[in-house]
């Protein structure tokens, strides 16, 4: 397992901010494309005129996950003329904890030795052996960081406590593979909130729809539009005017969820949704149950719905369902609509 996992790391890069106020890309191994370099410079908080300092941010671009740790250089140090620096690690998998730990180790090495060579040695040991010496008399083992833990690290209970019954809108949007845009002026809050949303559709375990940190630039939006359904987080408040980008808009600081005009028809909700909403809220409000248990409850309910859908599909020829078959069962219109779109999302619809 270690070998396939180490193949997931793509590159490591170093960005420095010096006493002249310039932010420069000073080191990368093996190589990073110019586009990605420009993107990482934008995401790294050092280019944003020293407004906020974010220790750790992560995001996705073009199926590559990037993790950026930023450190302020304190005297005394071997690094002259450097005020701050960021280490960016790109990888194919989603695992913020693992890469946060790794980049922390790399940062400390860099500060201590003042040269990227030592940092690179550590990176290569992790790449080849899956283990690296931590300077706190421990070691960093890749296998300590299981991907399931990353998936479950967020808090579903917080989401439900913030939105209550409206969580069902997010659930429906995720089930139907719609486009969700979340806005919050602080990136940390955005990352924390968005990373837990794919857990509502646990049966898919697909975190590639998550783009937690997007700017309103053409290249990034192009990349975003390639995915049919996504969860995108924006720090820029302008995104609320871009109704071409979302079906559901979540205004996190005001705790408001809006569904755009075009998607209202597909997202119509009925009795089934109310049931599911009840289950979610009840489970989350229960103080005895942990986050993973809540997610399990939600996935159990989802499975019920899916099993009933699959049962319907089994009846049809070549296991593809059509609208007529659905209509024959005389479901209430909202449920019928939902099942129709869900079938499309699960690729069960006959074309």
Partner 1 sequence: MEEVDKILIHALRQVGTEVGENIERVGQFTSELIVEAVVRCIRVIDPGPGGVLPTTLPPGMSARFRVGMSLAQACQDIGYKGEIGYQTFLYSNEPEIRSLLMFLVEKLPRESSEASDQPTGKSAVLHRAIATVIKAQLAVSWVPLNCRLPLHGETQSRAASQKFSVHPLSLPYCNEGQKSLKEVKEYKRDILLPATAQSPSQTSMVSSMLEQHMADLSSTQEWDTEWKSQGLLYRLAPQEYRSRKLKRLRNRIKEQLRSVAMQSPESIYSVCRPSSELSDLLRAFRGPAPFDLILTKGTHFTHTQKFTFTEEATAVKSQVHSGRHSEGDTQLHQQEELALLQQQFQQLCSDIDQIAADMRHRSVTSTQVFDELKQRELENAKNQEDMQVKKTTLELLPDADNNLQKLQSQVETGASRVVNLASQWEKHRAPLIEELRRLKQICSSKDLESSTKLSEIKHLHEKICMATEDAKKKEESYKQLVTELESLPRDVSRSAYTQRILEIVGNINKQKEDITKILSDTKELQKEINNLTGKLDRTFAVTDELVFKDAKKDESVRKSYKYLAALQENCNQLIQTIEDTGTILREIRDLEEQVGIS
CB-wise, 188 or 265, nearer to partner 1?
265
Distance CA 203, CA 295 (A): 10
Question: Minimum distance between the CB of residue 338 and partner 1, rounded to whole angstroms?
Answer: 12
CB-wise, 137 or 241, nearer to partner 1?
241
CB-wise, 248 or 345, nearer to partner 1?
345
Question: Minimum distance between the CB of residue 247 and partner 1, rounded to whole angstroms?
Answer: 11
Q: What is the DSSP string of 240-270?
A: GG-TTS-SEEEETTTTEEEE-HHHHTTT---
CB-wise, 260 or 292, nearer to partner 1?
260
Q: Closest by alpha carbon to 184, among 236, 132, 242? A: 236
What's the Cα-to-Cα distance from 305 to each of 52, 103, 124, 219, 299, rounded to whole Å?
44, 42, 47, 38, 10
CB-wise, 122 or 159, nearer to partner 1?
122
Question: Minimum distance between the CB of residue 92 and partner 1, rounded to whole angstroms?
Answer: 10
Give every CB contact of residue 285 below 8 A, 6+ residues apart in sequence.
160, 161
Question: Minimum distance between the CB of residue 120 and partner 1, rounded to whole angstroms?
Answer: 5
The site for partner 1 (CB under 8 A) is made up of: 18-20, 22, 24, 26-27, 29, 63, 80-81, 115-117, 120-121, 124-125, 128, 177, 226-229, 241-244, 261, 265-266, 323, 340-341, 344-345, 347, 349, 351
Q: If residue 132 lies in a helix (H) or strand (E), which one and from where to where?
A: strand 131-134
* Per-position b or e across 260-283, b if 16+ CB within 10 A of its CB: beebeebbbbeebbeebbebbbeb
Question: Minimum distance between the CB of residue 76 and partner 1, rounded to whole angstroms?
Answer: 18
Question: Minimum distance between the CB of residue 81 and partner 1, rounded to whole angstroms?
Answer: 5
**Phi-psi category of 91—alpha, beta or left, where left has phi over 0 and alpha has psi -120 to 50?**
beta
CB-wise, 58 or 110, nearer to partner 1?
110
β-bridge pairing 210-214 and 131-134: unpaired
CB-wise, 10 or 323, nearer to partner 1?
323
Question: Minimum distance between the CB of residue 108 and partner 1, rounded to whole angstroms?
Answer: 18
Neighbours of 63 (CB within 10 A): 10
State phi, psi for 234 to the nearest 5 degrees: -125, 140
């Amino acid at each position: 397992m270690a070998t396939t996992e180490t193949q997931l790391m793509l590159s490591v890069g170093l960005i420095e901010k010096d006493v002249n106020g310039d932010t420069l890309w000073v080191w990368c191994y093996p190589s990073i494309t110019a586009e990605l370099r420009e993107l990482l410079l934008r995401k790294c908080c050092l280019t944003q005129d020293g407004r906020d300092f974010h220790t750790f941010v992560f995001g996705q671009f073009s199926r590559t996950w990037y993790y950026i740790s930023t450190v302020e250089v304190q005297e005394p140090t071997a690094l002259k003329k450097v005020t701050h620096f960021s280490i960016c690690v790109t990888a194919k998998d989603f695992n913020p904890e693992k890469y946060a730990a790794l980049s922390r180790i790399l940062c400390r090495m860099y500060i201590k030795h003042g040269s990227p060579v030592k940092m690179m040695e550590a990176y290569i040991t992790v790449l080849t052996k899956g283990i690296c010496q931590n300077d706190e008399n421990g070691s960093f083992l890749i296998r300590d960081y299981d991907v399931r833990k990353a998936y479950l690290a967020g808090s579903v209970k917080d989401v439900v406590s913030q939105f209550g019954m409206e969580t069902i809108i997010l659930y429906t949007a995720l089930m139907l593979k719609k486009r969700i845009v979340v806005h919050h002026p602080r990136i940390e809050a955005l990352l924390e909130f968005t990373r837990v949303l794919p857990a509502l559709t646990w049966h898919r375990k697909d975190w590639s729809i998550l783009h937690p940190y997007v700017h309103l630039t053409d290249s990034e939006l192009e990349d975003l539009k390639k995915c049919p359904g996504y969860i995108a987080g924006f720090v820029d408040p302008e995104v609320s005017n871009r109704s071409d980008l979302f079906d559901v808009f979540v205004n996190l600081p005001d705790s408001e969820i809006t569904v755009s005009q075009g998607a209202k028809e597909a997202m119509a909700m009925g009795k089934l949704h109310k049931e599911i909403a009840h289950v979610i809220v009840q489970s989350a409000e229960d103080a005895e149950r942990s986050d993973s248990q809540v997610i399990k409850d939600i996935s159990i309910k989802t499975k019920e719905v899916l099993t009933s859908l699959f049962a319907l599909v089994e009846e049809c020829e070549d296991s593809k369902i059509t609208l007529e078959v659905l209509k024959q069962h005389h479901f209430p219109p909202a449920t019928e609509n939902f099942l129709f779109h869900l079938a499309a999302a699960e690729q069960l619809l006959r074309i």
